[in-house]
Structure 1
């Protein structure tokens, strides 16, 4: 059976901040039958993830700037692929049957054809909402879990700073730090977000970075005894300020640099004398580096959810046509928690 398949694409490569006019909704034909011997899986998408790093795939970088396949460049006119949750409607793959709920690399579209069934995993438990498998039990959660425990290696009583702390990864890092017995301070871009961090998620303190003309002085106030761990989602001047306030043998998990995704201006950098003399470790990482701990992550996080030791923050937009506005909103500070687009209920 053939169906119309609506999908979202970019009109051309982006320069500067994204706008809704950079995107368009198109229609293609999708055949709801997997060819025999193809090993393909056809999925009706229920919910898809919207993530800031995607903007780097929408720029016309030179080949020297695309040395990693983690964020391969998108092609204007083609569907924007992303993590998603869906229901199998046809399969030539023995691992997946019609009706299975799956998570994996799908797209901003109504139906996705997953070649060879690669990058899909079956969701066998219906204990938690489907959306959790894109956020708290998905890539955002694993990023927070692996970055905090494998990279930062926290010790009880240490002082932890989290930037973009109300975002999809930062809010989870802060909660994990509290569960580990650390003192946690986060920053965000509005009073409302700051209140969520303190009142709902249990951060020891939080501040609106937009109200702070001098970030180094601000961090000195919040960390008079210095910072032991900095989970960096921002880069730029925030990283520079954090390193200036770090203790000896401090650890920085470099998860993202959202301050530089759309700003073509000056790139702030940490004082290297601080890095050397304080023996600070700064390590970048990708969630794909840590797939070997997926089982432990799922088990531990599920236990935290059952006992309400972790709260889930989601920001869901309805309908595929809301995807461009949802994406643009990420760079305007509109979301709190994991940003998702809900495409279909069945």
Structure 2
């Protein structure tokens, strides 16, 4: 991120980008992608040519490559074979005719997976020094984490909080935000003992349950013998049911992700829940998505930026170098190989 911005005369004629070559029917592999060379686009009035420096990959990209896109109501986000992949990226402005952006400024946009991106000016977010201290943090999934904690579950002082999928890009930040908002006890779930130890030793979780190490409900009851007040749910399925069984009266559940379905061939799979149990125990389930809460984004940036500067939060992430590594990065993320966010340096 520290390289000087290129001048127009230094822009190459071509650049590399990653296409979705074929939709996966089962396991996502690097064979489902293709790295190709394409001409660097020229910006017209109101457009911004960006030299991408960092991009991220996220679990939600897996269902957006599925074989049955008609099952989603997010057609504008779907990845279609033969088209370049897309996702959040941070880069330097090369040229921006007819806009108030200047060469060298940093912007965030949604056309990653390529070395140069042509972005409409309205879709390029200027990144100023008063925001997050590390440009890479703009590629975190911290906004989803903050929303689930603050608006979804309304975490308050003294709460016992259970975060599912706690070692991922969302979960590693959700537990930390819960602590900042007064949680007395924070429990996370993850897929390995190595990740469970990381949650406790590095991120301040009080306990962790491990998928595959016995029934989730039994492990959760041991970790939270008095029950839980809050569920921050990234996973759904068995873990959502376990949280419901252990929840105290009046518990608040924020549903932020559905990894148990998203990482399979059936991203719309359902979970059977007892509505009687919800009613009788006064439990609230609230689905929460960032696009419904963009008014809260400035508040999130202020809080996250302050926590990063003061050292009260960490931003765990892994970096791979080179656009050609992006397919591998996504596949390894889906396989659960990494802790925290996964970024690609371009």
- Give distance in 2, aligned partners of 1:196 and 1:180: 21
Shift of 1:278: 1.3
Aligned equivalent of 2:73: 67
Aligned equivalent of 1:260: 261
Shift of 1:62: 5.1
Task: Please state whether the residue corresponding to 1:211 is helix, strand or coil.
Answer: coil
Matched, 1:125 2:116: no
Aligned equivalent of 1:34: 43
- Give distance in 2, aligned partners of 1:26 and 1:321: 9
- Give distance in 2, aligned partners of 1:262 and 1:339: 16
TM-score by length of 1: 0.91
Pairs within 5 Å for 1:156-305: 156-182=157-183, 183-212=185-214, 214-264=215-265, 267-305=270-308
Contact 1:157 1:181 (C-alpha < 8 Å) held by counterparts: yes
Shift of 1:210: 2.1
My pick for the range that moved more, 318-327 or 7-16, is: 7-16
Shift of 1:302: 1.3
- Give distance in 1, aligned partners of 2:13 and 2:30: 26
- Give distance in 1, aligned partners of 2:203 and 2:305: 17
User: Out of 51, 58, 77, which is 1:51 matched to?
Assistant: 58
- Give distance in 1, aligned partners of 2:135 and 2:288: 27
- Give distance in 2, aligned partners of 1:222 and 1:340: 32
Give structure 1 stretches of 5+ with no counterpart: none
Matched, 1:332 2:335: yes
Shift of 1:264: 4.5
Pairs within 5 Å for 1:94-105: 94-105=99-110
- Give distance in 1, aligned partners of 2:145 and 2:308: 15
Q: CA RMSD in A?
A: 1.7
Matched, 1:78 2:83: yes
- Give distance in 1, aligned partners of 2:201 and 2:322: 31
Q: How many matched pairs? A: 332
- Give distance in 2, aligned partners of 1:170 and 1:269: 24
Task: Please state whether the residue corresponding to 2:113 is helix, strand or coil.
Answer: coil
Contact 1:244 1:271 (C-alpha < 8 Å) held by counterparts: no
Aligned equivalent of 2:7: none
Aligned equivalent of 2:21: 11
- Give distance in 2, aligned partners of 1:145 and 1:313: 15
Give structure 2 stretches of 5+ with no counterpart: 1-10
Shift of 1:250: 1.1
Q: Deviations over 1:203-233 (max 9, x none)?
A: 1111322212x11212111111111100010
Aligned equivalent of 2:93: 88
Distance 1:262 1:146, change over 3 A: closer
Q: Deviations over 1:32-80 (max 9, x none)?
A: x422xx31101010010101101121113253x22235x6221211111
Contact 1:66 1:72 (C-alpha < 8 Å) held by counterparts: no
Task: Please state whether the residue corresponding to 2:240 is helix, strand or coil.
Answer: helix
Contact 2:147 2:288 (C-alpha < 8 Å) held by counterparts: no
- Give distance in 2, aligned partners of 1:119 and 1:224: 48
- Give distance in 1, aligned partners of 2:265 and 2:216: 20
Shift of 1:104: 1.6
My pick for the range that moved more, 258-267 or 18-27, is: 258-267
Task: Please state whether the residue corresponding to 1:27 is helix, strand or coil.
Answer: strand
